[in-house]
Amino acid sequence: MSSPCSRRTFVSSLLATGFGLAGGRSDPVRASSQPLRFGLTPVVLDDRIGFLAAWADWIERQLGRPVVFVQRSRYREILDLLLQGRLDLAWICGYPFVRNLSRLDLIAVPRFRGRPLYQSYFIVGADSEIQRLHDLEGRLFAWADPDSNSGYLYPRFRLTSDGRDPDRFFRRTFFTWGHPRSVEAVAEGLADGAAVDSYVWETLARGHPELTAQTRVLERSPDFGFPPIVAGPALSEPDRQAIRRVLLSQVQEAGGRALLNELNLDSFSIETPDLYDDIARMAGRITGGEGA
């Protein structure tokens, strides 16, 4: 799904450098080992360099191996790097995951508000006169990322189900390449509406209430599997087990719990790929999803 996929500008500063934080971190135990390359899509954390450093630090200590966060502005870039083996694992959206099910392995799924699920929110300006989804017809609409479930696949599916052509329903659409940016676009009046990741919107509401207060949730989608952390072909099975163990145990350790709290997540859990069947079904019915 979407949210982590194209997370927003926060990270943009990080993204700009291309690498995260962990570069110089040396592991006391196995200093010579190759760093674990962890791909991130623009998440809520974009301006949280300190947090990412702390998280990388924490994983490093648990894993006994350096961790490097790699960030890109497009979800597609992270996915390509992952599939090419230039990343070991990545936090991606459920939508690209189901499209590359055969080559990606589910490591862990974050639990948000007690469940490994999230939704897509249709949002409009707080003082907008729009009351129903169909009021958005002929308006300006912001997509998050073409590889996002909540910010692209689901809203297109929703309109298609109503017999509308998502490419003609709106007067003009554009991509913001990140859910937080979509929230900004609606808040600042650039777009009349947008579809965003509920986790991102809720987390923003916690950290930047003044921003989300300028938007109003028009409609909520059914639940979908939360954007998962997946391993690419480059990561060996023992390493997959190791990182899975670390992530699953994060909630049991005080420092890890604090980091999860920063992420606005409860924990990481192990799930089966059928969590994403709904997304796969939508993807099967929408061909446009491949767009962009």
Partner 1 sequence: MILPLSSYRLRLPLSLSIAAVVTAFSMAAALGLQTLTNLREDQGRNALTLGYAMAGVQIQALRNDDVWLAYSLLRGPEGGGDAVWILLDQTGRIFASNRPRRFRLDQHIESALPWLPQAQPQVIDETPGRVSAVDRDEVRRLLRLPLYSDGSQVGELIALLSDAPYLPRFREILLGGVLVTGAILAILLPIGWLWGRRMVGPLVQLAECMGRVGREDPRRMQCPLPDGDSEIGRLGQQFAAMLSALAQKESLERQMIQAERLAAVGRVAAGVAHEVNNPLGGMLMAIDTYRRAHPVDAQTERLMDLLERALRQIQASVSALLVEARADLRTLTRDDLEDVKTLAQPNILKAQVSLTWENACGSAIHIPAAPVRQLLLNLVLNAVQAAQGGGHVEVRIRTQDNQLMMRIENSGRAIPPEQLMHLFEPYPASRPHTQGLGLWVCYQIVSQLGGTIRAETQGEITRFLVALPLAQESPA
**Distance of closest approach, residue 189 Cβ to partner 1, in angstroms:** 4
Rg (CA), the chain: 18
Supply 145's token pair. 């990322």
Indicate whether 152 belongs to the interface with partner 1 (CB under 8 A): no
Indicate whether 167 belongs to the interface with partner 1 (CB under 8 A): no
**Distance of closest approach, residue 185 Cβ to partner 1, in angstroms:** 7
> Cβ closer to partner 1: 176 or 203?
176
Among 179, 181, 216, 244, binds partner 1 (CB under 8 A): 181
> Cβ closer to partner 1: 188 or 290?
188
Indicate whether 175 belongs to the interface with partner 1 (CB under 8 A): yes
Sign of the four-CA dihedral 82, 87, 90, 92:
negative
Q: Where are the alpha helices (DSSP H) in the chain?
A: 12-17, 49-63, 75-83, 94-99, 154-161, 166-169, 179-187, 198-207, 209-212, 237-248, 254-263, 277-285
**Distance of closest approach, residue 193 Cβ to partner 1, in angstroms:** 13
Pick the stretch among 32-40, 182-190, 229-237, 260-268 that binds partner 1 (CB under 8 A): 182-190
Give the residue among 106, 86, 87 at the shortest CA–CA distance from 96: 106
- Phi then psi for residue 103, to 5 deg, are -105, -5
Indicate whether 130 belongs to the interface with partner 1 (CB under 8 A): no
What is the three-class DSSP state of 195?
strand
- How many chain residues interact with partner 1 (CB under 8 A)? 15
Q: Give the interface with partner 1 as residue ranges (CB under 8 A).
A: 9, 140, 142, 171-172, 174-177, 181, 185, 188-191
